[in-house]
Amino acid sequence: MGKVIPRSASIDRIHEAASKALAIALARGGEIQALAEARIAPVITALGDNEQKLNQSRAEDDALHATLMARDNDSDLEIGAVCDEIWNTMGRPSQSIDYDIIVSGGKNVWTDGDPAKQPSLMGVLAANIRNSKHPKLADKKESWAKRIEVKAAAQAEAARPAEVSHARVTTLAMQRRTLADAVQLALTRFKRDLKNLGMTEAQVHEIIPDAPSAANGQKPVPPAPNPAPAS
């Protein structure tokens, strides 16, 4: 007995199988064409529209993410420079509570992690610099804090559209999987429609591609070996 492609198949394979079935059904004409137009065509159209939007959104997301990463790199360089200048101004101490209060666990605390969240962390770093009581930093701490804030603002401006774009891509990708499931279900129901017309399995799968299986030529997956008994 032939098989309709399963829901576990890749989205591309489901789309391909449904497109082939629709093309053949349209060529057959008559009742078969009408059933295919009612059952398969709408979901294939919806999946195709989704894929077009997803591809466009992914391209936009790549560009926005590249901009965010460029601003992130600028911020990282500025953070490193400011922290080094503060340490040098303090006299390059081997250990300093004042420096630790400003920088905490080191420069990487402020530069690693999610680039979209880094601007908020940089705001904390700028505040730490301003709040320092170290006498050698008094004349320069406002300038250092502003340098950090300028880079943070630029990165935040790049992060906002990047986060929106990422959410759009994520949503469209989930929608694509849902639509692929709907296409597979439409194929299954289309097969039932054809059987109700009195078509045999062989005739049905002249229209709907027969999914490969162990029974029709695909090699079965060997079972996993049993684990060795515990000694």
pLDDT of the chain, 231 residues: tens digit per residue: 789 999 999 999 999 999 999 999 999 999 999 999 999 999 999 999 999 999 999 999 999 999 999 999 999 999 999 999 999 999 999 989 999 999 988 889 999 989 999 999 999 999 999 999 999 999 999 999 999 999 999 999 999 999 999 999 999 999 999 999 999 999 999 999 999 999 999 999 999 999 875 444 444 444 444 444 443
Tokens 């009742």 appear where?
31
Cβ(35)–Cβ(25) below 8 Å: yes
Tokens of 22: 């629709």
Tokens of 175: 């929608």
Where are the domains positioned within the chain?
11-204
Measured between alpha carbons, how far is 45 from 47 in angstroms, rounded to an integer?
Answer: 5
- CA atoms lying within 13 Å on the CB side of residue 112: 5
What local confidence, expressed as pLDDT, does residue 2 receive? 84
Amino acid symbol at 148: I
Measured between alpha carbons, how far is 162 from 112 in angstroms, rounded to an integer?
Answer: 18
Mapped to the 3 state alphabet, what secondary structure does 111-130 carry? HCCCCCCHHHHHHHHHHHHH
Task: Compute CA 88 distance to the chain's CA centroid, rounded to the nearest angstrom.
Answer: 42
Measured between alpha carbons, how far is 199 from 201 in angstroms, rounded to an integer?
Answer: 7
Across 193-209, b (16+ Cβ under 10 Å) vs e yields bbeeeebeeeebbebbb
Tokens 């680039």 appear where?
115
**Considering only CA atoms, which of 74, 103, 105 is closest in space to residue 87?**
103
User: Helices 11-28 and 41-89 sit at what angle, rounded to 10 degrees?
Assistant: 160
**Considering only CA atoms, which of 40, 19, 11 is closest in space to residue 172?**
11
